[in-house]
Structure 1
Amino acid sequence: MKKERLISLDVFRGFTIILMTIVNNPGSWAHIYPPLEHAEWNGCTPTDLVFPFFIFIMGTAIPFAMPDKHFDSSIFNKIVVRSIRIFCLGLFLNYFGKIHFLGLEGIPLLTIRILITTIVGIALLGNFNQKIKTYLAFGVLGILLFLAYSSIESFQEVRIPGVLQRIGIVYFFTSLLFLKTSPKIQIGIAVLLLLIYWFLMTCISVPGFGAANFEKGTNLAAWLDNSILNGHLWSASKTWDPEGILSTIPAIATGIIGMLIGQLLNIQATKIEITKKLIVLGISLIALGLIWSLVFPINKSLWSSSYVLYTAGLAISILMILYYLIEIANYKKWTKLFLIWGVNPMIVFFLSGILPRVWGMIEIQNPEIASEKININEYFYTYVITPQFLNPLNASLAYALLYVLFWTIILYIFYKQKLIFKV
């Protein structure tokens, strides 16, 4: 039997997804406030906290979803299938813009893409029995990977890694560790993963580049990505991926830390005692991360070991503040907005990435240049939002906030109808 939902955790998840939506959907990528941009390389901005926070939250939720730690073949199957479904959602996001059919263009092609998206969404987010979920998960994964590695031109350079893909992988390993090991062993594994990754990145020479380093494109993680996934990496870099193979190792440690916190939240102790202990732990991890960063810089793209400790410490501290306000002080009136977002994360992850691409494919007449067309995104930002603001940074942020409002209305309807989309 599942434990009752922890409201503070749902609120934390909702806050994280709202921040994700804001940073992923500015009106103009040329006008963004610095805190809403990723660090150029080393360092950490609020934007760099979104992804590790979500993995931490996912780990924290595991003990609440599987409190009896029962493990058998059916449980293993559910974990495998859920991991594949999450992976496929992310993989399809990378495919969406590559879909072509019979040479169609414009609205007809967009219609085909929306139709395929609907089918994939139903297959991966639909409420089917476990047997059907298994068939659909493996079927969609097989089709997507076949297309990626086939000779079909439009799919030859589709990115295979991604945010949801990494979440699916981390969920798989973290869930199995929770069910099959004790907290002491989990701590040991998390520490070992961080140390192994640090050793690999600092002590192993990089073929073709020389000594170990932390620079873009020449570090060991980048070399491994390019060697195994050449042609299927992040389009902005081509030769390495921020959600690549080697850097997934420390990301698993982020999930394990979250899972350990979920278990600590269920120990036999008063809520105030739990809060005090975890606040101390959070501050300690922040300090350890900062100390480690002196030799292994805090870096999201590398998912450095110092980044794991630093972001996990911040996540614990924020969760404990929310835990105190909501679970202890019973101050809940302000939480509704975040709950609406927090209970339906996957539908937002999936469709909030699809919709801007759909709008970007719908073109209308440019009001200023008769011979040109402009897509709906550009039109709305340029002719509706921008004239209302003198500062282009504010206009860009306003566009993102309106997109958040758009999704809030949709998620509120789902919330009132008790519609929760799970993988």
Structure 2
Amino acid sequence: MSQGQETIPSEKKKRLLSIDALRGFDMFWILGGEKLFAAFFIITGWSFFHWGAEQMEHSVWHGFTAYDLIFPLFIFLSGVSLGIAAKPLSSYPPEKAKSILHHGFKRLALLILFGVIYNHAWGRGIPASVEDIRFASVLGRIGISWFVAALLVWYVSERTQWIVAIGILVGYWILLSFVTLGQYGGGDFTASGAINVWFDQHFLPGATYRNLPLDPEGLLSNVTSIVNALLGVFVGRYMIKHMQQPKKLISSLAMVGLLLLAAGYAWGVIFPINKTLWTSSFVLVTVGYSVLLLTLFYTLIDVMNTKLWATFFAVIGMNSIIVYLGSSLINWGYTSKSLFGGFISVAPAGWQDVILYGGMLLLQWLVLYWLYCRKIFVKV
């Protein structure tokens, strides 16, 4: 999935393998990697794998697990690439600036469309009534957060970008905590009483997820997800400015990540960390972990130059749109069973799931590797 690199001339691009590898590491769990923890727990009985399996489930409501990081990490990385590559449109000739803006609108529209396709969200089938279509989606949110962050990078100063990011986080906390609309809001952070429900019921077109009152990718929570991308922009911009001082860069990023985590968990005491509501505390916590992961990958891959293992994940990360859509449109479990069913049927408990999900991972990775070797990268 394109992350904004196309916004500057190719000779000025700075592509970091660590970013592609981290994006691939993020997508690895969607391919089926999350299922391996439970399988290895059955085999070994080790509490670590039991803990890992629990971390591979979304939080029921308030709280945070590792699986909750997958979505916001992807948005953050789109912002990092934007911060590395993009610059104000005023620095381009008018025709080039117009082309870049046109591409941004096109990318937003395609991601919203692909999100509908991923969700199989056309109700009882095509042709579908508008009321049956679920427009809200993960890909749609990625498109919205990236596009708004890109507009800010293209049209306003860095100072204004910071003001917008802080204003969104504080304003969202005030809105959810103190504003009441009908029977919703006023500090009610439940799935039935949060002010987000009012917005989804009044303004979200089409159907909601499982026809619930509140969609997990609903309207209002899109606003704070923009900050995940914006903070990624700030990190990417900082990285490209200090690339010649890797030790200083690494220590600074690690400190920023830790400070964001501390601030997020502290804010979570009064404004709960919640993925569905995408609360301001959730933004800070997820960006904190994202910065620490990026720091680790950057240190190991781009500074210490240990790139062999990174290529495994980069193969995934450089075709992320294929990865994500394929996980919904292709039954990889069926394919794995059809190829490895003989081994699965005679394997002991636990190992059956390892072979099944390991086969799914292998098959998907081989397809992506085939594309990678031929330099076929599907971008939006």
1:66 aligns with 2:96: no
CA RMSD of aligned residues (A): 2.9
- Whether 2:181 is the aligned partner of 1:214: answer no
Is contact 1:90–1:165 with CA below 8 Å preserved after alignment? yes
Question: Which residue in the other structure is 1:198 paired with?
Answer: 173
Once the two structures are superposed, residues 15-51 of structure 1 have per-residue CA deviations (whole angstroms, 9 ceiling, x without a partner) of 00112222687999xx992111101111111110000
- The one-letter code sitting in structure 2 at the alignment partner of 1:191 is I
Distance 1:84 1:215 in 2: 31
SS at match of 2:180: coil
Query: Which residue does 1:18 correspond to in 2?
Result: 28
Aligned counterpart, 1:353: 328
* Corresponding residue for residue 379 of structure 2: 422
Distance 2:33 2:57 in 1: 7
State how far apart, in whole Å, the 1-side matches of 2:314 and 2:185 are.
50
Indicate whether 1:278 and 2:246 are aligned. no
Q: State the Cα distance separating 1:320 from its structure 2 match.
A: 0.8
Does structure 2 conserve the Cα–Cα contact (< 8 Å) formed by 1:231 and 1:238?
no
Q: Which amino acid aligns with 2:258?
A: I
Structure 2 residue 237 is the aligned partner of structure 1 residue 263: yes
Please name the residue that 1:123 is paired with: none
Alpha-carbon deviation of 1:377?
Answer: 8.5
Counterpart CA distance in 1 for 2:80 and 2:59 is 26
Report the Cα offset of residue 389 of structure 1: 3.7
Letter in structure 2 aligned against 1:271:
P
2: distance between equivalents of 1:296 and 1:16?
27
What is residue 38 of structure 1 aligned with on the other side? 58
Q: Which runs of 5+ in 1 are unaligned?
A: 102-145, 150-155, 361-374
- Helix, strand or coil at the partner of 1:95: coil
Cα gap change, 1:185 to 1:409, in 2 (>3 Å): same
* Offset from partner CA, 1:306-345 (integer Å, 9 cap, x none): 0100110111111011111112111212111111011111
Which residue matches 1:311?
286
Matches within 5 A, 1:290-309: 290-309=265-284
> Bigger CA drift: 62-71 or 193-202?
62-71
Distance 1:386 1:255 in 2: 45
State the distance in 2 between where 1:381 and 1:304 align. 43
Percentage of pairs with the same residue: 29
**Which stretches in structure 2 are left out of the alignment for 5+ residues?**
1-8, 43-49
Deviation of residue 166 (structure 1)?
Answer: 0.5
Aligned to 1:402: 359
Shift of 1:349: 1.2
Aligned letter for 2:360?
A: Y
Candidates 72, 89, 102, aligned match of 1:52: 72
In the superposition, relative to structure 1, how do residues 230 and 82 fare at CA in structure 2: closer, same or farther (>3 Å)?
closer
1:111 maps to what in 2?
A: none
- Report the count of equivalent residues: 352
Work out the CA distance in 1 between the residues paired with 2:142 and 2:129.
Answer: 20
1:379-417 Cα shifts (integer Å, max 9, x gaps): 8999864762424xx655653332221110000100111
Residue of structure 2 aligned with 1:240, choices 214, 238, 256: 214
Residues 135 and 205, structure 2, Cα contact 8 Å, conserved in 1: no
Structure-2 separation of matches of 1:177 and 1:39: 32
Is the alpha carbon distance of 1:382 and 1:331 closer, same or farther for their aligned partners in structure 2, counting shifts above 3 Å?
Answer: closer
Q: Who is 1:289 aligned against?
A: 264
Distance in 2 (CA, whole Å) between partners of 1:213 and 1:310 is 21
Which range is displaced more, 31-40 or 405-414?
A: 31-40
Question: d(CA) in 2 for partners of 1:160 and 1:256?
Answer: 24
CA distance in 2, matches of 1:223, 1:78: 33
Amino acid at match of 1:213: D
C-alpha offsets along residues 72-100 of structure 1, whole Å, 9 cap, x if unaligned? 32221111111111111111222367474
TM-score (normalised: structure 2): 0.84
> Within the alignment, does 1:77 sit opposite 2:102 as a pair?
yes
Contact 1:206 1:219 survives alignment (8 Å): no
CA contact (8 A) 1:59 1:174 kept: yes
Instruction: Please list, as runs of the form range in 1=range in 2, the aligned pairs for 1:173-188 lying within 5 A after superposition.
Output: 173-188=148-163
Contact 2:84 2:233 in 1 (8 A): no
Provide the rounded CA distance (Å) in 2 between the counterparts of 1:320 and 1:290: 20
1:159 aligns with 2:134: yes
C-alpha distance in 2 between matches for 1:13 and 1:26: 19
**TM-score where L is the length of structure 1:** 0.76
State the secondary structure of the residue aligned to 1:265: helix
